[in-house]
Amino acid sequence: MSERVPSLRAEIVSVGDELLKGQRVNTNASFIARGLGTVGIPVVRITACSDFESEMASVFRETLERADVVLVTGGLGPTRDDRTRKAAGELLGLGLRLDPDALREVERRVTAHGRTMNELMQCQAMVLEGSMAIPNTRGTAAGMIIPAGRRFGGSYLVLMPGVPSEMEAMMELTVLPWLRSLSDTTIIHTPVKTTGIGESTLADIITDIEDSIPDGTSLAYLPHGAGVDLMVSTIARDPRIAERDNAAVVEAIRERAGVFIFGVGTASLEETIIGMLASGGFTLSVAESCTGGLIASRLTDVPGASVSLMQGYIVYSNSAKEELLGVSRGLIDMYGAVSEEVARAMALGCLRRSGTSIALATTGIAGPGGGSPEKPVGTLCVALARQVSGTGPSVEVRTLHMHGDRLQNKHRFTEAALRELWSALRGEPGG
C-alpha cells in the first residue's frame, strides 16, 4: 500500500455576478482543475463570488488561510466591474507597478488594431508589487502570481482574466510550468466508462474493491443521464507507485464489472463504437424515429466516422417509414408504429436499402403524450439487423422502458440504442 502523501492544496475562485445569476456556466474552474491534476496538485474547493471588492477580499482571505495556491479567474480587464486586482492589493497591502513586458504587449496589440494607447489601456499592464506578471498572449490584461507572505503561511494568489481563451493560454504557458516546479507529487486520474448500469448496482458490485482501496487512491462516482462512470484517482510522490496503485484498482473494477464497461480513458461510447466498426471492417446505417437523428449526430461527432457510418434515415411519420424503408402499412396498423415488429421491419429496410453490413433502428414514445397502459411513455423498441453471409440478414429486437421527460427520454433512447450496438459488436447479442 502506498503512503498517504501530503501535497500542495489548491482552491479555485471564480469571480463574476454572471456566475451567481446562472447566466454563465463556470467552465474555467473545470479547465483549471484538470490542469492542476496534471501537475500533481489536488483541488480541495471551488468557490464563486460576486465582483464586489469587499466580497472578493473576504473570499481571498479565507482561501489563502486554507490552501497553498489560490487560482482566481475574472475581474481583470478594462471595465468597471474588473476589481480583482484592487481587492487583492488591499488585502495584501500591496501597491501597483507598471510591468514593462506587459506594457509592450498591450502596445503591440493596440497598434495592430489601429488604435491609440490611452490611460485605460495602459492600466492593463499594471500588476501588484512583488508579483510575477503572467503574459497575456490572447488579450491585454496581464495576470499575476502573487506571494501572499508570512501572514498566509507562504501561500500564493494567482490572478487571471475570466475570458476562457486568455485564462487557458496563461495556464498552459506560465502557470502550470511554474506549479510543476513546486509540486513533488503525481496525480493519475483514470476514467472508467460504463453503460447500462445504475450507481447503486455498480456500487454493490465493487463494494469489496472500495473497502480495500490503497491509501492515496480514491474512487468517485460520476452519474449522468444515461448511467454512471467512475473516476479512479491516485496521488503519490513516486510516479511508479501512483501508476501501480491506480492500474490495480482499475483492473479490479474491469474484472468485476467488465460487462458494463465500454472503455477506460476519455473515449465516449460513440468513439468506442466507431473504432470497433472500423477495426472490424463494418459499415453502419441508422433508421431513427423517436431519436430524431440523435444517434447519427452523436456518431458523426467522432472524427473519421465517415469510414463506417454510411447514411441515416429520419422516419418520424408512418408514411416516411413506408416510403423510405418499405415498412408495410398493414404491419403498422396491426402492431402500431412502436412495436418490435415495426422496429424489425425498419432495420431490415434500412439494411437492404443502404447496403451496409449493420443497420440500427429505433421507434418509441418519448412523451409527454402518446402512451397507453400497454405501451407507456418511455417505451423504446430497438432493432439491430446484420448481413450474414450465406443465410441472409439476422435481426435482434428488444423493448426497453425509460423514465423521464421528453428530452431525457430521447437522450436515454439514443444511449440505449448505442449500447445495443456496442454489445453486438463485442459479441454479446442482447446486451
Residue 5: is its pLDDT beyond 50?
no
Distance CA 188, CA 236 (A): 9
Residue range of the domain that includes 168 = 10-182
Q: What is the pLDDT of residues 18-33, one digit of tens each?
A: 999 999 999 999 999 9
Q: Are residues 104 and 35 in the same domain?
A: yes
Q: For residues 48 and 20, is the Cβ–Cβ distance under 8 A?
A: yes
Position 81 scores a pLDDT of: 60
Residue 430 binned pLDDT confidence (cut-offs 50, 70, 90):
very low
Residue 388 binned pLDDT confidence (cut-offs 50, 70, 90):
confident
CATH number at residue 237: 3.30.70.2860
Please identify which residue in the block is written with the cell numbers 485605460.
120
Q: Are residues 46 and 131 in the same domain?
A: yes
CATH number at residue 109: 3.40.980.10
Residue 327 binned pLDDT confidence (cut-offs 50, 70, 90):
very high
> Of 247, 250, 309, 251, nearest to 275 (Cα)?
309
Position 6 scores a pLDDT of: 47
**What is the average per-residue pLDDT within 384-406?**
92
CATH number at residue 323: 3.90.950.20
Q: Are residues 238 and 311 in the same domain?
A: no
The alpha helices in 123-228, defined as continuous H runs, are 164-170, 176-182, 199-205, 207-211
In a domain, 35, yes or no: yes
**Through-space distance between the first and last CA atoms of the chain, rounded to whole angstroms:** 36
Distance CA 344, CA 385 (A): 8
| Signed CA dihedral, 38, 41, 42, 47: sign only | negative
Q: Are residues 160 and 35 in the same domain?
A: yes
Write down which residue in 264, 281, 300 finishes a domain. Answer: 264
Position 107 scores a pLDDT of: 85
Q: Are residues 326 and 418 in the same domain?
A: yes
Q: For residues 319 and 298, is the Cβ–Cβ distance under 8 A?
A: no
Lowest-confidence region among 82-96, 107-121, 184-198: 107-121
Residue 1: is its pLDDT beyond 70?
no
Q: Are residues 19 and 153 in the same domain?
A: yes
Q: Are residues 259 and 299 in the same domain?
A: no
Q: For residues 90 and 57, is the Cβ–Cβ distance under 8 A?
A: yes
SS3 60: helix
> Of 158, 128, 167, nearest to 30 (Cα)?
167
Q: For residues 318 and 332, is the Cβ–Cβ distance under 8 A?
A: yes
Position 3 scores a pLDDT of: 38
**What is the average per-residue pLDDT within 334-352?**
98
Lowest-confidence region among 26-35, 313-322, 389-398: 389-398
Average pLDDT, the chain: 92
Q: Assign 3-class secondary structure to 286-310.
A: EEECCCCCHHHHHHHCCCCHHHCEE
pTM comes to 0.76
In a domain, 121, yes or no: yes
Q: Are residues 52 and 95 in the same domain?
A: yes
In a domain, 223, yes or no: yes
Q: For residues 383 and 327, is the Cβ–Cβ distance under 8 A?
A: no
Q: What is the pLDDT of residues 104-151, one digit of tens each?
A: 888 887 788 787 777 777 888 899 999 999 999 998 889 999 999 999
In a domain, 5, yes or no: no
* Secondary element (H or E) of residue 326: none
In a domain, 320, yes or no: yes
Write down which residue in 218, 243, 264 finishes a domain. Answer: 264
Q: Are residues 89 and 72 in the same domain?
A: yes
Distance CA 143, CA 127 (A): 8
Residue 161: is its pLDDT beyond 60?
yes
SS3 189: strand
In a domain, 431, yes or no: no
SS3 127: strand
Q: Are residues 210 and 141 in the same domain?
A: no
**What is the average per-residue pLDDT within 164-192?**
93
**Strand-strand pairing, 10-15 and 43-49:** parallel
Q: Assign 3-class secondary structure to 6-43.
A: CCCCEEEEEECHHHHCCCCCCHHHHHHHHHHHHCCCCE
Q: Are residues 140 and 242 in the same domain?
A: no
In a domain, 235, yes or no: yes
In a domain, 99, yes or no: yes
Residue 168 CB neighbour total at 10 angstroms: 17
**What is the average per-residue pLDDT within 259-281?**
95
Distance CA 221, CA 384 (A): 31
Write down which residue in 264, 296, 314 finishes a domain. Answer: 264
Residue 276: is its pLDDT beyond 50?
yes
Q: How many domains does the chain have?
A: 3
Q: Are residues 55 and 83 in the same domain?
A: yes
Position 220 scores a pLDDT of: 93
Residue 4: is its pLDDT beyond 80?
no
